[in-house]
Amino acid sequence: MLDLFLSEQYKDDWAQIVKLAEKDDAPAREKLRRYAMEGCRISTQSFGLFRSVSKATRITEAGKTYDLKPGDEIFVNLVSPQDSNYPRSEVMHG
């Protein structure tokens, strides 16, 4: 992931990451988390991750709703976000 953010294409993002890392507040940590997730999505060596659900939750994807319970396994797609209303700039800067 560091190679990605140190590349010419993402050098402006790296400057923002450094500024955020110097802060100690929840909004900065949330933006850093977004950068990390997007960095994983863009430069990942795999297509996704399996995760275990830790608490009951409801997720809607592509018009279908899923009720998940603790212990369920889900696959997190890191390659292509499904929500077209969630562009790269929104992910990292939103």
pLDDT in tens, 44-89: 666 777 888 999 999 988 889 999 999 998 888 766 655 554 445 4
28 C-beta neighbours (distance < 10 Å), count: 14
Please check whether residue 53 lies inside any domain of the structure: yes
Rounded CA gap, 10 and 57, in Å? 34
Write out pLDDT tens, residues 17-41: 999 999 989 999 999 988 988 887 7
**39 lies in which domain range?**
2-77+87-93
pTM of the entire structure? 0.52
Q: What three-state secondary structure class fits 86?
A: coil
For residues 43 and 16, is the Cβ–Cβ distance under 8 A? no
Question: What integer pLDDT is reported at residue 89 of this predicted model?
Answer: 47
As a whole number of Å, the end-to-end CA separation of the chain is 20
Measured in degrees and rounded to the nearest 5, phi and psi for residue 5 equal -75, -15
Which pLDDT score, from 0 to 100, does residue 92 have?
A: 52
- The structural domain count of the chain equals 1
What confidence score (pLDDT) does residue 83 get? 52
Considering the domain boundaries, does residue 19 fall inside one?
yes
